[in-house]
Amino acid sequence: MTKTLALFIMTFFSLTAFGQRSWFDLKKSVLYVNYTVNDSVTVCNYILTKQVLGDTTIQGKLFEKLLWTKFKDIDGAKTNYVEYEYNTNKELIRLDHNLQTIHNLKLIPNLEQLGTVFGKTGKIKSEYIDLRRSYPRDSFVADEKTPIKFFIDDNCKYSLTYRPELNVMELEENCMSATKYCLGEVFIELTQGLKNITPINSQFELTKGDEVQLHYRRRGYNDTTRLVEFEKKQIISMIYSGDTIINNRKNLMITYNDYNFLSGRTKEPQIVFVTMEDSGFYMNGRQFIRTKNFKPVFKIDSLKMDESKIQKEYIEEYRKEAKKKFISFSAYVYDTLGGVAFPRVIYHQTNSPYTNYVLPYFPIMFYIFPGIDGVITYIKKDGIEYGEKLKPTVKTDETNIRKITCLSKKEVQLDIYFAQTSSMAVLLYGKDDKTKPIHKQEITATGLQSIIVKTPKLKKNVSYQIQVEYSWDNNTNILTTEFTANYK
């Protein structure tokens, strides 16, 4: 696949975890996916949900009675079946509805044992799974959190991948297919969304000044407590600024105000034009977002694009990709701010690392990706405020670019906080190459400095990159950021 087409089509199928309060909350998901891999192509076969019906005693052991529901489309035909599972004290026994053995083994690595996996009995082997991506393999040391694969080799591999910290089977593989437990915050929310079956529609009854604040934050887990820990990354305040007419059509104007906690920079406000349709809206005339009849959608899906809009050299590649099967999930959940519940619609596909969100009460869409949370912290509607509005902080521990303002086609203003006196040079990157330094200056005082920089002619509404090189006491550092030439 070419890099260009890959920008439109992304294949991704792995564990994701975004923002749960504890690592152990991952187990709240009830979603599983069955798939096959042929010639390195992943094809999703069906979706499974699991419900624990209660406990029952079999041969003196307390088993959970599990109800599995299998389907390709949640609105289509479903198959239900019962299994019984005992997963206690490092021992796994799973029985079918006739009490015939599916799995029976000790979940202890490097233990010599005979066991059963998918009804096949034999010598159980085991190996730890190194999840690291950037360390030498010979430095790997397993611990109590390390996943373990238990397997029997018999022409093909029957295997179970066990997460000891969560005490769950994450992946079960036989000679025909694999079943993966969908772990991650998005799947916890989709599990919640399964309960919200009454369709809802968007209602954009906006008053000028209505506002929504989105907070992006980094997510990690404490190695000891396993509780989630966050680092502030970015806040984006989106304000309804009024209406305008573009191509004889009414457009809503949403002003985006963006502040980055990590860099300390405030971007220039950007206006996004929203064109309303009966069933959805377009953002800046490009991306259509549906706003009607939100309800749980869990189904096997495939790539669908209008071939008339694809360049001829990519048609065959598109047709190959369109044969792949993935799963589309969508549902809605609620965020509670100031005692009021606001709906939020989730869109997720197993062939993408991104999760998209739509707000039925405000015409925007945003997305998150692994390691980053996106939460609504503040809403203002009809003059009433809900939640807590976050504010930018002043970053003074190191030199940072606070703001870039494009004054004209040949002039920009840089607001830079200098933590030390420095010698500074500014470079400008265009679409292709960078220029020679366009501005040099000695900074003789610390603190916030507003610097006017003369530039080559800037093309209106085109993005450029500014590079600030500064040095002090035999030290050198570089700050790089982008701006859009949106001069009046």
C-alpha–C-alpha distance, residues 433 and 440, integer Å: 19
Q: Residue 162: which of 177, 176, 183 has the closest Cα?
A: 183
What pLDDT score was predicted for residue 120? 94
Query: Which amino acid makes up residue 398?
Result: E
What pLDDT score was predicted for residue 241? 95
What pLDDT score was predicted for residue 431? 65
Domain ranges of the chain: 30-181, 211-290+332-387, 400-484
Average model confidence (pLDDT) across the chain: 89
C-alpha–C-alpha distance, residues 169 and 93, integer Å: 12
pTM of the model: 0.83
Query: Which amino acid makes up residue 445?
Result: A
Mean pLDDT of the 194-199 span: 93
Lowest mean per-residue pLDDT among 84-98, 251-265, 353-367, 423-437:
423-437
Instruction: State yes or no: pLDDT of 42 exceeds 50.
Output: yes
Three-class secondary structure of residue 275 per DSSP: strand
| One-character DSSP codes across 153-188 | EESEEEEEEEETTTTEEEEEE-SS-EEEE--SHHHH
User: How many residues comprise the chain?
Assistant: 488
The alpha carbon of 19 is separated from its chain's Cα centroid by a whole number of angstroms, namely 10
pLDDT band at 232 (very low <50, low <70, confident <90, very high): very high
What pLDDT score was predicted for residue 6? 29
Instruction: State yes or no: pLDDT of 2 exceeds 80.
Output: no
133 Cβ partners below 8 Å, 6+ apart?
Answer: none
Mean pLDDT of the 366-377 span: 92
Mean pLDDT of the 325-346 span: 94
Lowest mean per-residue pLDDT among 282-286, 287-291, 444-448:
282-286
Backbone angles phi, psi at 314, to 5 degrees: -110, 0
What pLDDT score was predicted for residue 17? 37
What pLDDT score was predicted for residue 434? 61
C-alpha–C-alpha distance, residues 281 and 361, integer Å: 13
The alpha carbon of 99 is separated from its chain's Cα centroid by a whole number of angstroms, namely 40
What pLDDT score was predicted for residue 436? 72
Instruction: State yes or no: pLDDT of 54 exceeds 90.
Output: yes
Three-class secondary structure of residue 297 per DSSP: strand
- CATH class given for the domain over 400-484: mainly beta
Instruction: State yes or no: pLDDT of 329 exceeds 50.
Output: yes
What pLDDT score was predicted for residue 215? 97
C-alpha–C-alpha distance, residues 2 and 127, integer Å: 36
3-state SS track over 355-373:
EEEEECCEEEEEEECCCEE
- Please give the share of the chain, as a percent, with pLDDT higher than 90: 66
Contact by Cβ (8 Å): 367, 359: no
**Cα atoms found within 13 Å of the Cα of residue 381, Cβ hemisphere only:** 15
C-alpha–C-alpha distance, residues 163 and 127, integer Å: 12
Please write the tens of the pLDDT for every residue from 58-103.
Answer: 999 999 999 999 999 999 999 999 999 999 989 999 999 999 999 9
C-alpha–C-alpha distance, residues 18 and 9, integer Å: 22
Question: Higher-confidence residue: 1 or 272?
Answer: 272
- Please give the share of the chain, as a percent, with pLDDT higher than 70: 94
C-alpha–C-alpha distance, residues 275 and 281, integer Å: 5
Task: Take residue 134 and report the two structure tokens written for it.
Answer: 């950037």
Backbone angles phi, psi at 68, to 5 degrees: -100, 135
Please write the tens of the pLDDT for every residue from 404-456.
Answer: 999 999 999 999 999 999 999 999 887 666 667 889 999 999 999 999 999 98
Lowest mean per-residue pLDDT among 129-138, 223-232, 387-396, 417-426:
129-138
